[in-house]
Structure 1
Amino acid sequence: MSAGPMDGAPDRCEFVVRPDGTVVGDDGAAGALAGALPYTGRLARRAGELVEVGDLRALEALGARRLTVGVTWTPAGEGTYRAVLVPAEPRTLPSFMVVGGADTAATVAHCVDRVLAVGGVRWSGIVTAGSRVVASAGDGAATSRLAEVGNRMLAILRSLEDQHVAGFVRLRFEKASVVGASLGRHALVACAGVTDDEDLLATIDEVRAILADRDLSTVPTPQDPAAHEAAADESTDESAVEIEVTATPAPPPLVGARFAGAGTRQPRTGRRRFGRGSLSPSPGGTPRRSTRG
Structure 2
Amino acid sequence: MAGLLDKAKTASNDEPKSSKKPAPKAESETLLSKSKPVATTEAKGTQEGGPDIPLILNLSGWAIIVIGAILSLQGGGFGFVVVLVVLALGIGSIVQSQRMSGGVSQLKTGISVALALIIAVGPYAAIMIVPTNASMVISEVSVNEDENELSFVVRGSTSSVDAKIFADSQEVWDGTKSLSNDRARFYVPLDSIFVGNSLDYSASVIKQYSIEVESSDGQTSSIDIDTGFLTREAKNSAVSIFKIVKTTNQGSGATSVTDGISIDAAVGLFSPSEQALDDGEHTLENTALLPVASDYTFKIIIKKGLSVVYSMPQISVNGLSATWSSP
Which one has a larger percent strand, Structure 1 or Structure 2? Answer: 2
Is the radius of gyration larger for structure 1 or structure 2?
Answer: 2
TM-score, normalisation: structure 1: 0.21
Scaled by the length of structure 2, the TM-score of the pair is 0.20
Comparing both chains, which one has the higher relative contact order based on Cα–Cα distances under 8 Å and sequence gaps of 6 or more? 1
